[in-house]
Amino acid sequence: MAGRCSLCGSRLNNGKCEFCGLDNRMYDRNYLKDPYHLAEIAREADTPKAPPGQTQRPAAASARSGSSAQKTVFTAKPPARKGADFSSRRQKQDVSSWQKRQNSGASRSRAVIVIVILVILICIAGPVLFQIGKSVIETGTVPDTDSWQSAVDSLFSDDDSSLDLNDYDAYDYVTREIPEDGTDYEVTLSDGFYQVGIHIPEGVYHVELAEESADLHIADTENIIYDSVWFGDETEYDEVTEADDIRLYNGAEISITGGGSLLFTTDNAQPFTQETAANPLTESFILEEGSSTAGEYIPEGMYDILLAETDEYISFGLEISYPNELSEYLWASNSSGEPEERIRNVIIPAGTELTLDGGPVKLEPSEGYFEADLSDYPWN
């Protein structure tokens, strides 16, 4: 196990998050938690470095202080034998440009610090303003001084109950309850995207790990459900082997990542809202490393994506940038020599930018195709 993503908590492969695509190799978690590194950034930006055409050498240590610290001085390289005047003028121009870049870097660093401070202030004041606004809505009156003081005191109190993530309920905003009556239903799903009501019926599910390890992500705009459950045997990463009360509403999309599979069972499955259909695409396509746009070489449609080669120990990372400015990151590897691990039901609208790292990969027409307007996908 290579750890979890600092942003969303999903699995990492080669330092990159399978779910959100963040390259965690560029973000050390402990470094980001240390607010004092911002001052180091500013000092580094304000510390002069050798301009182009000059070298650095250490000066002698301070004899007065007895310190072994060294300071850096700049020494110009000897001019070239020919074109000395031109080289001198060019060197002055380079130094001037370097100084401008240094000043610009320092300004940017100071701007970053100011932005971070503003964000911190907003985070501190936000909960207070929210509580006051809530009070105004409920009582119809402006809170007095004691109410303001109480809100501030509660924010900085030692009682962390208001921040207890164990109290989080992903279903706080559901607009309706799923009927208790229904039919028995069971299905095993692996990596891919599945529409509730089409690929899996609406219902309240018991989900358990069927093979290896896997992550379940639920996106439901109508009911404001955005939840993830990590399945595996590594409890230090909050992984579980089974989960109850997983509510899947019609119109939601679930995605599974991690390379494993999950078993879904329910006794109140509701009728499907739409059936899958024959995929109008009949041809497969090979996507090579690099960038391409759907609608040119690769037509719009719904695909299964898998490795195109059977060599062992190969992998790919595919960034999908949709026309509506949302994005998805897909990752898969092969250590068995069999390219059977696939990501199912990947929807690719026309105009989508595909950026492949590794591979090549094969895009096969998906058997889970259904009729829909793909232009504004993702819908959740």
Q: Are residues 39 and 120 in the same domain?
A: yes
299: in domain: yes
Specify whether 28 is located in the same domain as 134: no
User: Do 326 and 239 share a domain, yes or no?
Assistant: no
Q: Please indicate, yes or no, whether residues 45 and 122 belong to a single structural domain of this protein.
A: yes
Q: Supply the angle between the helices 145-155 and 84-139 in degrees, to the nearest 10.
A: 120
Asked whether residue 95 falls in the same domain as residue 156, the answer is yes
Residue 73 has which token pair? 């001085």
| pLDDT for residue 356 | 93
| Cα separation, 233 vs 315, whole angstroms | 24
Shared domain for 154 and 39, answered yes or no, is yes
The domain total for the chain is 4
Does 358 reside within a domain? yes
State whether 310 and 260 are in the same domain: no
Looking at the structure, tell me whether residues 192 and 212 fall in a common domain: yes
Each residue's pLDDT expressed in tens, for the chain with a length of 380 residues = 456 777 767 777 667 776 677 777 665 444 444 444 444 444 454 555 444 444 444 433 333 344 333 333 333 333 443 344 434 444 444 444 444 444 545 555 566 677 778 777 776 666 666 666 666 666 666 556 666 566 556 555 555 544 455 667 899 999 899 999 999 999 999 999 999 999 999 999 999 999 888 999 999 999 999 999 999 999 888 899 999 999 999 999 999 998 899 999 999 999 999 999 999 999 999 999 999 999 988 999 999 999 887 666 788 899 999 999 999 999 888 765 454 678 999 999 999 999 999 889 999 999 999 999 998 899 87
Q: Which pTM value belongs to this model?
A: 0.61
Q: Could you tell me if 47 and 150 lie in one domain?
A: yes
Whether 372 maps to a domain, the answer reads no
Whether residue 41 is found in the same domain as residue 85: yes
**What is the DSSP secondary-structure string of 241-297?**
SEEEEEEE-TT-EEEEEEEEEEEEEEEEEPPPSS-----S----EEE-SEEEEBTTT
The CATH number that applies at residue 221 is 2.60.120.340
Query: Which CATH number covers residue 308?
Result: 2.60.290
pLDDT value, residue 187? 97
Domain residues for the domain of 86 are 35-52+79-165
322, 229: one domain: no
